[in-house]
Every structure is written in structure tokens, then in C-alpha cells.
Amino acid sequence: MKYKKYIFAVFRNLMLLLIGFIVVFPILIMISNSFKLPDDIFVKRINLIPAKVTVSNYVRAWVDYDVPTWFWNSIGTAVGITILQLIICILASYSVVFFEFKGRNIIFSFFVASMLVPFQVTMIPNYILVSKMGILNTWTAVILPNLANAFGIFILRQHFKSFPYSLYEAAIIEGCNSLEILWSIVIPICKAFIVALLILFFIDAWNLYFWPLLVMRTPESKTLSIGLQQFIDYELGHRWGNFMATATLACLPTMIIYIIMQKQIIATYAKSGLKG
């Protein structure tokens, strides 16, 4: 009986180790290829350790291509989206949870119902709107349509609901106005959750692909996800070495955040599914 249990445990762990290896394998390939010379990349062999380590792929990509510009555009759009989304979502969910007013539930449903509208239904009208505004190929074009974030309002509302209401009342009696209460009581107390949400927003914004693909058409306006495609285009000739180097750089910000805050990030993602 005990023997059988032991075999099961070994089998289970071997299985999970294998699956884990398969999952990280493409990432390992990416990192290892980024440090390889071309004749080391184009071989029919699984070699995760470069024969000779070189940084020339990084240097060439950074110097010969628009990689710094793409990087800058990714940072600008992602930071813009993250901060504005957070401000808008906090204000809206603060209002919905802490105030009582006419139409409160209707307005909340108005936000949540938009989760049922798939992205591709709004993309062409939004593209037309953005181009009529004359902001194609600018950061604003990427940022604006992403500011309607129903998920953020929803999950913040869930969290604010568990806020100790007596604290809020005490502050009112003290004579604080609602903005002071939000800034100096609600936000500091919910800091951990807000930081976790901020990271979630940033990861999503950093990884955007479909919308920037539509509105960032000029070479100088591309973000990393869009620009990288030019390295692997058939017509332009593959540049796998440069691609792997830039892709590694592009994955670095989210990977570093993930390594540092892995537990909180996974917990926040887990909460995102418990909408019920």
C-alpha cells in the first residue's frame, strides 16, 4: 500500500517536471538563441547552451533597427494605459461602493455589460473614430480605447465592498471630504491590492497586440509586439538572431516583475476568475 503511494508520487512529479519543461522550453530557446551566432542557430540539433556566447544580436538589433523607438513606444503606451485605467477604475468603483445615489446599479450594470462586447465588434468603428480624431500613429490612439476597463471596475468594487465601513464613517465625522477620504484612507488601506491590480494592468497593456497593430502603422510608431514581426517576415528576410534578442528584451520587464512578485500576481489572476 505504502509502496504504491510512493510510485504514484514519483510518477506524478516526473510528469509535472516534464510538462513544466515543455512549457518553459520556447522561452529557453528564445533566450539561448539570442546569444548564439547564426551558424549556431541554424542547426538541426537541440542545443540550449550556445557554443559561443555573443551579444552581437542585441547590439545589432539595438543599433541597426528601430528597437529603441519600439521600446519607448511600448513603455509610453503601457504606462499611460496603466495609470489612467487605474485612476478611472478607482474613481468609478469608489463612487459605486461608498455613495448612495439614483441609478447606481444601472450605471454599474452599464459598465459590466460591456464585458459581453467582443473586441472585434468595436474595432473598426473605433479605428474610424481614432483616424477621424487625427491621432493615428500616436500613443493617444493606443491609450484612449483601452480606458474603458469593465474588469477593473468590477474587481475593485468587489474589494472595496469589504472595506471597514466604520472607518469611512469616522472620517466623515472628522469632517474629511470624499476626495480626502479616498486619497488618505481608502487607497492606503487597499494599497496591496491596488499595486497587484496595477501590475496586472501593466502586463496586459505591455502585451497588447491587436489594437496597436491597427493604429500604429508607421515604422516610428510601432510597439515591440508589432515591430518584432518585421524580423521574421518572409519578404524582408528572416533575422532570427536579432529577433530572439529583441524578443528577450521585450519579455524582460514582465518577467522581472513576475519573478519578484510571482505569488501576488498569481493570486490576483486567480481572483479574476472568481466572478461567479
Partner 1 sequence: MMKKHRIIPYIYLLPAIFFFLVFKYWPMVFGFFLSLSKWNFISSIQWVGIDNYIHMFSRSLFINAVSNTGKYTAILLPSYIIIPLLLALMILQVRNKTLASLYKPVIFLPTILSFAITCMVWMWVFNPSFGALNTVLSYFGIKPIYWLSDSKIALWSIILVSGWKTFGYNMILFIAGLSTISDELLEASIIDGANAWQTFWKIKWPMLGPTTFFILITSIIYATDKAFIPINVLTRGGPHDATTNLAHAIYVFGFEMFNSGIANAVSMFTFFIFLILTYVLMKIIGERIYYEV
Of 130-159, binders to partner 1 (CB under 8 A) are: 144-145, 147-148, 150, 153
**Residue among 62, 72, 163, 240 that touches partner 1 (CB under 8 A):** 240
CA angle 233, 23, 40 (to 5 degrees): 50
Q: Residue 218 CB, nearest distance to partner 1 (Å)?
A: 15
**Residue among 54, 56, 122, 158 that touches partner 1 (CB under 8 A):** 122
Size of the site for partner 1 (CB under 8 A): 92
For position 214 contacting partner 1 by CB under 8 A, the verdict is yes
For position 207 contacting partner 1 by CB under 8 A, the verdict is yes
CA distances from 274 to 19, 105, 113, 160, 187 (A): 26, 20, 17, 16, 23
Grid coordinates given for 162: 469589504
**Residue among 224, 239, 242, 245 that touches partner 1 (CB under 8 A):** 224
- Rounded distance between C-alpha atoms, residue 73 and residue 220, angstroms: 9
**Residue among 119, 170, 187, 236 that touches partner 1 (CB under 8 A):** 119
Nearest CB to partner 1, comparing residues 65 and 243 = 243
For position 271 contacting partner 1 by CB under 8 A, the verdict is yes
- Rounded distance between C-alpha atoms, residue 151 and residue 135, angstroms: 26
For position 75 contacting partner 1 by CB under 8 A, the verdict is no
User: How far is Cα of residue 245 from the mean position of the Cα atoms in its chain?
Assistant: 20
Q: Which residue has the cell 480624431?
A: 133
For position 83 contacting partner 1 by CB under 8 A, the verdict is no
Nearest Cα neighbor of 78 from 252, 158, 198, 240 is: 198
Of 181-200, binders to partner 1 (CB under 8 A) are: none
272 contacts: CB under 8 Å, gap ≥ 6: 151, 155, 200
For position 243 contacting partner 1 by CB under 8 A, the verdict is yes
Nearest Cα neighbor of 50 from 248, 257, 251, 259 is: 248
**Residue among 7, 44, 175, 188 that touches partner 1 (CB under 8 A):** 44
* Candidate segments 49-57, 64-72, 190-198, 267-275, binder of partner 1 by CB under 8 A: 267-275
